[in-house]
A = this chain, B = another copy of it.
Amino acid sequence: MSRRPKTFDLTFLLEQAQRRVSRNFDLALRELGASPEQWRVLDRLSDEEGRPIGELAAELCMNPPTMTKLIDRMVAANLVMRIADESDSRRVLVFITDIGIELWAKLTRRADSFNEQLAGTLSAKQIQHLGEMLGYLADRPS
């Protein structure tokens, strides 16, 4: 009847919060035609400099093959393009296109307003602490 007295289940809280938040975030961005992952990539490329696949993968915590597939779809949608790195031909640099820039601007406005709404009634100090602790969890080697 009663649940076991359990260790504080931080993993579950994190999963649930992310699941519920991202469900709505997905919807907000999907209306504009992109997934959260695509927006993350566009955001990193928005300074119009090229970046290698591996770097993008590491930043977004994906394996290279996963990033390759994501970039495949974004190339097909004309959001980014691949250009071989002249200084190291093993590398392929990914650049944002004009269409990608346009979409990125729209997505960013939507994402910003989502974040503002999400932070909602949390105080600035709470948000700062939350950010610090999430960053701490993300950086744990474990």
Q: How large is the interface on A (under 10, 10 to 19, 20 to 34, 35 or more residues)?
A: 35 or more
Chain B residues whose CB sits within 8 angstroms of the CB of A127 once the complex forms: 8, 10
A-B pairs with beta carbons under 8 Å apart, 13 shown: A6-B108, A10-B127, A11-B21, A11-B36, A11-B111, A11-B118, A13-B131, A14-B134, A15-B36, A19-B138, A20-B61, A20-B140, A118-B142
A50 to B135, CA, bound (A): 39
Query: Would you list which residues of chain A between 19 and 58 have a CB under 8 Å from chain B?
Result: 19-25, 36, 40, 46-47
| Contact indicator B10/A15 (Cβ below 8 Å) | no
Known: A17-B14, A138-B16. A46 touches B4 (CB 8 A): yes
